[in-house]
């Protein structure tokens, strides 16, 4: 009797420490997904591809699932996180190179004028990206990103960016991994940037992050020690057609499932669906102005500079059986909050 009481007490302590997310996961691995066709599509897909003896069975080693990051796994609006990082790095950059203080676009960024910053052109932004993402050693870059991501907060929610990951998508990542899938991020964002936090935030190890990648130069420092330096040279533009190209380069297998939210993910989803057998292609539609954002013409909403989900993509999705996820209708909860994603290691 006493031991039973102790077991109950212990269970309560564990439940309290683990938080609600862990408890829900024990009953429904997709607890933040409302019941309906979208959730059913996921469960049916996993069932079809993992049931031995079924015609749609996929061998464990071929179970590859690829996820876009910005707008698919976490908030990308009004500006994707890596770009915020680059803008935030400008003061340190100018400190090291004072001559840049009077040179555009750095001058505008230093002014802090939000309207002017929002109006910077694509070539201007590319100058800022090149100046803040290259020229340093890999170790230095990783240390800078690690420090920034641990403290920087989003302007609207006043929360760290890593807390603005979507709980339903984290559940989906984990559900797929629990069913033998190897989960990858395939992002238009910087590969080196995302790899710094992918394990902690998504349970995805660095070697399973495919992203836009620049040249890397091997040389020796003054003590003869090898050093890898980030070069201002584009090696892989991992967006649009670059996504399937990057998948072939870095993984060498065609995904069985692919998940995105914008026209930049179109070719990855096409490539995935074009493989033989059962495949799942999903698009996150941002249609929840209250809990997150609403944007994209496919929903009769204004297009934005980031992540526009065009009518033509919407039409292609409908025609080819891609599943469109309505944040508003399909998700009972949006954000993961702190620490939720840390529950598992990656697979």
Tell me how many residues contact a second copy (CB under 8 A). Answer: 37
Q: Does 61 bind a second copy (CB under 8 A)?
A: yes
Output 136 or 235, the one with its CB closest to a second copy.
235
The DSSP-derived string for 171-221 is HHHHHHHHTTPEEEEEEEEEHHHHHHHHHHHHS--GGGEEEEEEEEEEEE-
Output 112 or 275, the one with its CB closest to a second copy.
275
Q: What is the DSSP letter of 153?
A: B
Q: Does 138 bind a second copy (CB under 8 A)?
A: yes
Q: Does 245 bind a second copy (CB under 8 A)?
A: yes
Q: Does 228 bind a second copy (CB under 8 A)?
A: yes
- For helices 167-178 and 37-50, the axis angle rounded to 10 degrees is 20
CB of residue 226 to a second copy, shortest distance in Å = 5
Least Cα distance to 91 among 78, 114, 115, 108 occurs for 108
- For helices 81-96 and 122-133, the axis angle rounded to 10 degrees is 70
Q: Does 267 bind a second copy (CB under 8 A)?
A: yes
Interacting residue with a second copy among 133, 209, 281, 294 (CB under 8 A): 209
The verdict on whether omega for the bond into residue 78 sits within 30 degrees of 0, i.e. cis, is yes
Stretch binding a second copy (CB under 8 A), from 49-57, 144-152, 153-161, 200-208: 200-208
Least Cα distance to 189 among 270, 92, 73, 321 occurs for 73
Q: What is the C-alpha end-to-end distance of the chain, expressed in Å?
A: 41
CB of residue 210 to a second copy, shortest distance in Å = 9
Q: Are 193 and 211 in contact (CB under 8 A)?
A: yes
Q: Does 248 bind a second copy (CB under 8 A)?
A: yes
Stretch binding a second copy (CB under 8 A), from 31-39, 86-94, 249-257, 277-285: 249-257
C-alpha 94: how far from chain center: 30
Q: Are 341 and 201 in contact (CB under 8 A)?
A: yes
Q: Does 206 bind a second copy (CB under 8 A)?
A: yes
State the CB neighbour count (10 A cutoff) for residue 343.
14
Write the CA distances from 283 to 67, 261, 265, 288, integer angstroms: 10, 5, 9, 14
Stretch binding a second copy (CB under 8 A), from 123-131, 165-173, 264-272, 291-299: 264-272
Interacting residue with a second copy among 53, 123, 252, 300 (CB under 8 A): 252
Output 245 or 288, the one with its CB closest to a second copy.
245
Interacting residue with a second copy among 103, 118, 150, 274 (CB under 8 A): 274
Stretch binding a second copy (CB under 8 A), from 43-51, 149-157, 210-218, 285-293: 210-218
- Cα 186 to Cα 243: distance, rounded to the nearest angstrom: 7
Stretch binding a second copy (CB under 8 A), from 82-90, 267-275, 301-309, 328-336: 267-275
For a second copy, the binding residues (CB under 8 A) are 61, 138, 191-192, 195, 199, 205-207, 209, 213, 215-219, 225-226, 228, 235-236, 241-242, 244-245, 248-253, 267, 270-271, 274, 345-346
């Amino acid at each position: 009797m006493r031991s039973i009481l102790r077991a109950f007490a212990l269970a309560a302590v564990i439940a309290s420490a683990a938080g609600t997310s862990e408890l829900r996961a024990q009953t429904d691995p997709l607890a933040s997904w409302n019941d309906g066709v979208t959730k059913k599509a996921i469960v049916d897909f996993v069932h079809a591809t993992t049931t031995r003896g079924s015609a749609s069975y996929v061998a464990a080693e071929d179970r590859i699932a690829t996820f876009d990051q910005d707008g698919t796994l976490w908030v990308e609006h009004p500006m994707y996180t890596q770009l915020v990082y680059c803008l935030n790095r400008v003061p340190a950059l100018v400190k090291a190179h004072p001559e840049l203080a009077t040179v555009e676009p750095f001058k505008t960024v230093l002014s802090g004028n939000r309207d002017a910053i929002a109006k910077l052109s694509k070539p201007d932004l590319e100058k800022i990206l090149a100046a803040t993402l290259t020229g340093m050693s890999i170790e230095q870059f990783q240390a800078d990103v690690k420090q920034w991501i641990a403290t920087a907060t989003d302007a609207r929610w006043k929360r760290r960016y890593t807390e603005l990951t979507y709980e339903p998508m984290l559940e989906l990542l984990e559900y797929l991994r629990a069913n033998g899938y190897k989960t990858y991020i395939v992002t238009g964002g910087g590969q080196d940037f995302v790899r710094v936090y992918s394990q902690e935030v998504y349970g995805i190890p660095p070697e399973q992050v495919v992203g836009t990648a620049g040249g890397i130069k091997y040389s020796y420092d003054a003590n003869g020690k090898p050093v890898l330096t980030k070069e201002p040279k584009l090696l892989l533009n991992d967006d649009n057609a670059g996504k399937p190209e990057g998948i072939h380069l870095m993984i060498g297998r065609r995904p069985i499932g692919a998940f995105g939210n914008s026209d930049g993910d179109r070719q990855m989803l096409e490539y995935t669906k074009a493989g033989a057998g059962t495949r799942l292609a999903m698009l996150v539609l941002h249609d929840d102005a209250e809990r997150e954002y609403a944007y994209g013409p496919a929903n009769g909403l204004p297009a934005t500079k980031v992540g526009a989900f065009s009518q033509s993509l919407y039409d292609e999705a409908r025609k080819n059986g891609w599943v469109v996820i309505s944040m508003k209708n399909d998700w009972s909860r949006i954000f993961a909050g702190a620490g939720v994603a840390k529950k598992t290691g990656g697979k």
